[in-house]
Amino acid sequence: MTVPSSSDSPAAGAPRPLRGVSISTAFPDPALLELPWELPLEQWPPEVLAAYPRGLSRHVVRFAHVGRKVVAVKETTAHYAQREYGLLRKLQTMSIPSVVPDSVVTDRYTPDGEPLPAALVTDHLSFSLPYRTIFEQVPAPETIERLVDALASLIVQLHLSGFYWGDVSLSNTLFRRDAEAFAAYLVDAETGELHPSLTRGQRGYDIDLARTNVAGEVMDLLAGEDMQQRLRDAGVDPASVDPFEISQRLVDTYEGLWEELTATETFPVGDRWRVQARVERLNELGFDVEEASLDSDETGQVRLRPRVVEPGHHSRKLLHLTGLNTQENQARRILTDIHQFGQALYPGLPEDLTAQLWMREVFVPIMEAIPAELRRKREPAQIIHEVLEHRWFMSESAGEDIPTPVAVQDYVKHYLATRPDEINVF
């Protein structure tokens, strides 16, 4: 859609006229027209901006209110804005964890007629956190290790889909809590390329770049005196956090996961159990086998190779049973609780009925006990996981089972109420 230029002054309270701005989008929202596109992003007034912390970027980036949602706006060239928008849309159709593209804005001019850069607009990813914010909250080596493990898993998913990133880094990634781990989402696809499949060289370049960038980002993270003091306050010697060991962990995690997902396995024809064992290992890693190659030869050897693997095994299962849309580790934890709930109270009941009873007797009461103003701090699935963990620790300390309602009250008072809001942190 395009808004024509106008030299007339708007009436009081009327939308401000724009000069030739063009907005290309699959999700038309008239509220986009209310943003001050005639100004450089650096000059946008505070009343339209969302006061989120910004990560490192080679571009000018601002976060703005558009109607009832928040968007990220990045200035770039029209070519790169259109290209990145197209790539992000394709990643969405492939169910790759990434930010949702909203629109591309071109034909921007100042009131004096000076051209301005184009802009890429993406939706803010609710409950997502940049790596610096997470590490500042919990300054410990385990925190950064969990982040690089999540990044390694994301890179594997991208590579399996034929996506070459070209700029792998923690800065170009957002993270959502996923039980005790994190789930990673791609933010910047400017240098990305989508292919039918990737060569070993393309994958290797991405991983080498990831190794270099992650080591540099961790070094930069540790360089500040404030962060060093936070580590010391947490009982951690800053010198004990080795950026190169952490970046190597990313490489090792990636290579191990890639091998498990793609390697050809050879075994005697009599060992047919190994097919199911391979599938179960992949399921435990959170992947489903959608297609596999299974060949035998004249020597009686069988070769098995998964050819198409789909992440989200546990989250898909939980969605089917309960309608809850969760991260993978959250789903794994909740499925375990549903199983234990059924074994204790409804032995022999089919899994789908047990899940519905769990929703009614566990999920709903927990969420009803969370004050509305505190639900901005965590996603519902993360709240459920944390309450279950809190109940377990309370029971272990007391030496007896603590009822869930008691655990929820203690969790809200002593933990959740002290946490920062995460629904709109960027």
pLDDT tens, residue by residue, 297-309: 777 788 888 877 7
270 with 377, same domain? no
What would the mean pLDDT of 168-193 be, rounded to a whole number? 94
57 with 170, same domain? no
Lookup: tokens for 383: 């709240």
Determine, yes or no, domain membership for 316: no
Determine, yes or no, domain membership for 15: no
CATH number, domain at 153?
Answer: 1.10.510.10
Looking at 54, 89, 123, the residue that finishes a domain is 123
287 with 219, same domain? no
- pLDDT value at residue 37: 94
Looking at 72, 104, 123, the residue that finishes a domain is 123
- pLDDT value at residue 7: 37
Determine, yes or no, domain membership for 73: yes
51 with 135, same domain? no
pLDDT tens digits, residue range 142-178? 999 999 999 999 999 999 999 999 999 999 999 999 9
pLDDT of 197 over the 70 cut: yes
Which has the higher per-residue pLDDT, 291 or 182? Answer: 182
- pLDDT value at residue 305: 83
CA neighbor of 366 nearest in space, from 358, 356, 355, 377 = 358
pLDDT tens digits, residue range 65-104? 998 889 999 999 999 999 999 999 999 999 899 999 999 9
Determine, yes or no, domain membership for 367: yes
249 with 347, same domain? no
CATH number, domain at 35?
Answer: 3.30.200
CA neighbor of 358 nearest in space, from 342, 381, 343 = 342
pLDDT tens digits, residue range 253-266? 999 999 999 988 88
- Helix H, strand E, coil C: the string for the chain is CECCCCCCCCCCCCCCCCCCCEEEECCCCHHHHHCCCCCCHHHCCHHHECCCCCCCCCCCEEEEEECCEEEEEEEECHHHHHHHHHHHHHHHHCCCCECCEEEEEECEECCCCCEECEEEEEECCCCEECHHHHHHHCCCHHHHHHHHHHHHHHHHHHHHCCEECCCCCCCCEEEEEECCEEEEEECCCCCCEECCCCCHHHHHHHHHHHHHHHHHHHHHHHHCHHHHHHHHHCCCCHHHCCHHHHHHHHHHHHHHHHHHHHCCEEEECCCCHHHHHHHHHHHHCCEEEEEEEEEECCCCEEEEEEEEEEECHHHHHHHHHHCCCCCHHHHHHHHHHHHHHHHHHCCCCCHHHHHHHHHHHHHHHHHHHCCHHHCCCCCHHHHHHHHHHHHHHHHHHHCCCCCHHHHHHHHHHHCHHHCCCCCCCC
119 with 169, same domain? no
What would the mean pLDDT of 19-35 be, rounded to a whole number? 83
Work out the angle between the directed axes of helices 404-414 and 380-398 (0-180°, nearest 10).
Answer: 110
Interstrand relation of 115-116 and 128-129 (parallel, antiparallel or unpaired): unpaired
Looking at 90, 108, 123, the residue that finishes a domain is 123
Determine, yes or no, domain membership for 47: yes
66 with 179, same domain? no
Determine, yes or no, domain membership for 10: no
140 with 224, same domain? yes
CA neighbor of 206 nearest in space, from 244, 248, 253, 169 = 169
Query: What is the C-alpha separation between 152 and 144, in angstroms, rounded?
Result: 12
- pLDDT value at residue 295: 84
pLDDT of 388 over the 90 cut: yes
- For residue 209, give Cα distances in angstroms to 20, 97, 155, 367, 369: 40, 20, 12, 43, 46
Determine, yes or no, domain membership for 281: yes
Q: Which domain holds residue 334?
A: 325-418
Q: Which of 243-252, 280-289, 380-389 has the weakest average pLDDT?
A: 280-289
- Residue labelled with tokens 């969302």: 50
Confidence label for 6 from pLDDT (cuts 50, 70 and 90) = very low
> What is the tally of structural domains in the chain?
4
Lookup: tokens for 185: 């989402």
CA neighbor of 170 nearest in space, from 203, 198, 201, 134 = 134
CA neighbor of 60 nearest in space, from 42, 84, 37 = 42
- pLDDT value at residue 279: 86
134 with 209, same domain? yes
Cβ neighbour number for residue 200 with a 10 Å cutoff? 7
Facing residues of 304 across strands?
265, 294
Determine, yes or no, domain membership for 4: no
Q: Does the predicted TM-score (pTM) go above 0.75?
A: yes
241 with 279, same domain? no
Query: What is the C-alpha separation between 25 and 375, in angstroms, rounded?
Result: 31
216 with 253, same domain? yes
CA neighbor of 140 nearest in space, from 97, 187, 185, 180 = 180
220 with 155, same domain? yes
Confidence label for 56 from pLDDT (cuts 50, 70 and 90) = low
pLDDT of 19 over the 70 cut: no
- pLDDT value at residue 287: 86
CB 355 within 8 A of CB 317: no
